[in-house]
Amino acid sequence: MTYQIDDIIDKRFIVKGICNDSGGMGQVLFVEDSVSEFPGELALKYCREDSEEYIKRFRREVRLLEGFSGNTKVVETLHSNIDNEPPYFVMKYYP
């Protein structure tokens, strides 16, 4: 699955552009939060692979990132939905 500009992910995040397309199993998009809970520039990473093994690995990645909450050396996960198809998480975008 791939998203296009102005697609809406999980009835909330509006795709504004592609941030990075060179990852192994994921793609990172610039998004805007339509409910304005998270203002500013955001990046959303989602699993673009259909394989159950890749989806399982991606969900594990999200759980591990969330386990580092509060660690200033690891990107903070602002929002995630690992049950969504495809699973994703949202983080601040740092230029």
**Residue 53, SS3 per DSSP:** helix
Chain position carrying tokens 């995630």: 80
* Helix extents (H) in the chain: 52-67
pLDDT for residue 38 = 94
pLDDT tens for each residue of 25-42: 889 999 999 999 999 999
| Token pair belonging to 93 | 């975008």
What is the reported pTM?
0.91
Distance of CA 51 to the CA centre of its chain: 18
Separation of alpha carbons 55 and 83, rounded Å: 10
- The CA–CA distances, whole Å, from 2 to 49, 74, 94 equal 9, 26, 23
